[in-house]
Structure 1
């Protein structure tokens, strides 16, 4: 066989192999469309809700201390029990105080008797002076003695009042309605006036306050909303299934320059006592509404190498990779600040199985990010 014949044979074999390869490629099956659950991006309004972790505080807290020294005779309550304003708490030994009060009253009675006698002397001397039987100097001496006794009577009355006040300190009563804490002294102990350690602490827990802080950037919006109407606040401590509702009651007078936050307090009636002083609670503060926002279910947004993204389902049932920037979140909703304009169909799950341009089969209509209408919100 000549070289020319060999070349022709090789060329024929190459052409035949190329044609067979093209035919095999044309016969290769297309990739199967991935099943996805679809949702929708919509435009609507949504409440703007700030979230924080707060601390529950008693609305009033009083440290009970004795105002006099003495022996503690009786404790009238059980620690950890509820007391009402005016209820007796402690009784101190008051025998010496009662004696002081009796002595003060006796002194007053003596002054009153002397004053009565001085008054009779003055009236008698007045008659004698008119008759010219005594001098005016003697009459003036009588007037001076009467004035001195009147001053002594006022002093004695003040002593009786002071002794009565001191005696009242032997009975310690609750200044507020609340719940007692740990009892520090028991009957038989000596009590020191105004000691460093209180005898007991009483906390008012109906209502309570919840103290929390938010970034100073929200201060103007909070104050503007508060000027229109009391702002609603909810608090949910650990272990409580339903949040408790209250209202914003306090805005601090200054921003904390170290943290850049402003301290707020909310008041809760706490009739069911779901909130307990010292607890931590998740706090939500509603400060207004964001209008005409693009809303999507939160699970539609995934995190990629380029940041957050969604897959948009095109009319031909292929997907487009779309980077987005999200904002406020609450519950299942997220606000999309850029990347979507509203009205797009989006993939809710199966992001990891998809690539840009991949075909999909919508296996059911998922959630549509409906406007909140007061039922949904956006958190910080």
Structure 2
């Protein structure tokens, strides 16, 4: 009785314990069983993973590949492209005529023209005071009169002596002396006439005249100014009013041109083009700049002012070549290139040499046959060897 009570008392004093755990606790080897269960689970997972690897060919499953980019392309073919060369240059008179003092000069008495005036050949542009030269001319004119009088007297004396020689009053030697006197008097007349003509020529040179018909471009003289042959240019004239554009071109561009090639010249600040043509090409190339000069003849127009700057477009015939939009042509340190799509739909880089750039596109002189699939745009986002899905561009209307 007491024993049972003691035993019951001990059980009542113990804390409540979950029955399964309680029995597992007292079961022999219970902790080791749990460890073995964990190990078996890991082995099972490893076996499943190996099975999946073997089923997949021994390779780990790769992540899903990203879709290939769609790239628009064009097939340029060949077409006749009008060759054009764009350049710039300075306007000038085609034949500029500097006019200065031809004689000894003097003080300017009159200036008869202004810049922008049209003048005829030989027209007086300015006059130099000639009062002294006029008096010298009058003196020389009088000297001619005196010389002629002396020559007439010598001729009369010779005639009388010849009438008396038959009578024996005049010797042959006297006739010879009088003949010489007459010839000397005639020579003095010619000398006086020559001196008078020289004075007249000097007076004529005191008038500054236009050497040919043309347009007065500049005037650098005023009345009262003292000028001489060392004074330099007093007037500048454009012969016939004709103008030109001196266009500097690279030697490869110059080689494509010929005399007579048409050109359109547009002065800076104006939108109006003027039609002209090449009338002269430089026979030499500058060794430093590798450039030459093509001179484009232009008719006179008030908008064409010598010394001004102008742009020119020279037409150099036509070429049969592929024509690409500007978006298709890329460039870097090695030069110009395009991307073409090969038969395996892989992007390949192709170096090209470009020609004229116009509103229609860029002419490709070499590097393309015209039958390639050329990437139209997005070339900056591609690399050689990239796989793409090619999409042909819609035909342009």
* TM-score normalized with structure 1 length: 0.75
* Whole-angstrom CA distance in 2 between matches of 1:214 and 1:93: 49
Instruction: Specify which of 50, 57, 63 is matched with residue 92 of structure 2.
Output: 57
Unmatched tracts of structure 2, length 5 or more: 1-33
Q: Which segment is superposed worse, 75-84 or 104-113? A: 75-84
Instruction: Specify which of 141, 150, 155 is matched with residue 119 of structure 1.
Output: 155
SS class of match (1:54): strand
1:199 is matched with which residue? 234
- Label 1:231 to 1:129 Cα distance change in 2 as closer, same or farther (>3 A): farther
User: Is 1:297 aligned with 2:325?
Assistant: yes
SS class of match (2:126): strand
- Verify the 8 A CA contact 1:122 1:139 in the aligned structure 2: yes
1:335 is matched with which residue? 364
Aligned length: 352
* Whole-angstrom CA distance in 2 between matches of 1:69 and 1:264: 38
- Verify the 8 A CA contact 1:59 1:205 in the aligned structure 2: no
User: Is 1:241 aligned with 2:271?
Assistant: yes
Deviation at 1:149, TM superposition (A): 1.0
Higher RCO (C-alpha 8 Å, min separation 6): 1
User: Is 1:95 aligned with 2:125?
Assistant: no
- Label 1:204 to 1:119 Cα distance change in 2 as closer, same or farther (>3 A): same
CA deviations 1:74-131 (Å, max 9, x no partner) are: 2112245443333321122222222222211111122222222222222222222234
* Whole-angstrom CA distance in 2 between matches of 1:50 and 1:305: 24
Deviation at 1:145, TM superposition (A): 1.0
Instruction: Specify which of 77, 82, 105 is matched with residue 42 of structure 1.
Output: 77
User: Is 1:210 aligned with 2:245?
Assistant: yes
* Whole-angstrom CA distance in 2 between matches of 1:305 and 1:269: 40
SS class of match (1:299): helix
CA deviations 1:319-371 (Å, max 9, x no partner) are: 73432222323312221512x3213343433334556323355563248xxxx
1:165 is matched with which residue? 201
Greater share of residues in strand: 1
SS class of match (2:95): strand
* Whole-angstrom CA distance in 2 between matches of 1:203 and 1:237: 18
- Label 1:313 to 1:241 Cα distance change in 2 as closer, same or farther (>3 A): farther
Deviation at 1:11, TM superposition (A): 4.9
Query: 1:113-192 alignment to 2 at 5 Å?
Result: 113-189=149-225, 191-192=226-227
* Whole-angstrom CA distance in 2 between matches of 1:199 and 1:24: 90
2:31 is matched with which residue? none
* Whole-angstrom CA distance in 2 between matches of 1:307 and 1:70: 65
1:371 is matched with which residue? none
- Verify the 8 A CA contact 2:249 2:294 in the aligned structure 1: no
* Whole-angstrom CA distance in 2 between matches of 1:363 and 1:40: 9
* Whole-angstrom CA distance in 1 between matches of 2:284 and 2:353: 31
SS class of match (1:250): strand
* Whole-angstrom CA distance in 2 between matches of 1:23 and 1:253: 73
- Verify the 8 A CA contact 1:246 1:266 in the aligned structure 2: no
Unmatched tracts of structure 1, length 5 or more: 368-380
Q: Which segment is superposed worse, 60-69 or 5-14? A: 5-14
- Verify the 8 A CA contact 2:122 2:212 in the aligned structure 1: yes
* Whole-angstrom CA distance in 1 between matches of 2:346 and 2:123: 73
2:347 is matched with which residue? 320
- Verify the 8 A CA contact 1:309 1:321 in the aligned structure 2: no
Supply the RMSD in Å over aligned alpha carbons. Answer: 3.9
* Whole-angstrom CA distance in 2 between matches of 1:100 and 1:164: 9
- Verify the 8 A CA contact 2:84 2:315 in the aligned structure 1: yes
- Verify the 8 A CA contact 2:267 2:310 in the aligned structure 1: yes
SS class of match (1:78): coil
- Verify the 8 A CA contact 1:56 1:208 in the aligned structure 2: yes
* TM-score normalized with structure 2 length: 0.72
Instruction: Specify which of 277, 282, 285 is matched with residue 306 of structure 2.
Output: 277
Larger Rg computed on CA atoms: 2
Deviation at 1:42, TM superposition (A): 1.7
